[in-house]
Amino acid sequence: MSEEFDIKIGRRVRHVDGDGRTAIVRRFYAYPLVTVEWEGTGRESTENMAYLVPVFYKITVSEMTHYRGKAIQATAYVNSNREGERVVVSKWTTPIRTEGGQIEQPAGTITYRRITGA
């Protein structure tokens, strides 16, 4: 599973069935199962990680030009108060280059990073 979709303890997640249910991951049960506490009811249940996705807020998409190349970048907040931790997912439209100009990754590479703090 890529880091983009990792389900970690303490993360807010939602169920993919589209009914808007959200939960907090409490513990791992046995891969690929995790125990979550549903925010609406406070009840716990064991769920398959494949049916849970991280909840993101205020998603913005922009084009970025950098000395390393060009990318389409999506930025989103992890918490509903739209403060603190954010995630940045970039799809590079040109190859990613090192400071010396050598190609590090081909065009189409997707990178993911977290930003914490204000």
pLDDT digits over 27-62, tens only? Answer: 998 888 999 999 889 999 999 988 888 887 778 889
- Say which amino acid occupies 33: L
How many Å apart are CA 79 and CA 5, to the nearest integer?
16
pLDDT digits over 51-93, tens only? Answer: 888 887 778 889 999 888 899 998 888 776 677 778 888 889 9
Which CATH entry fits the domain spanning 3-54: 3.40.50.1220, 3.30.360.10, 2.30.30.30, 3.30.365.10?
Answer: 2.30.30.30
How many Å apart are CA 105 and CA 74, to the nearest integer?
19
How many Å apart are CA 88 and CA 3, to the nearest integer?
12
Tokens of 39: 């925010």
How many Å apart are CA 85 and CA 70, to the nearest integer?
24
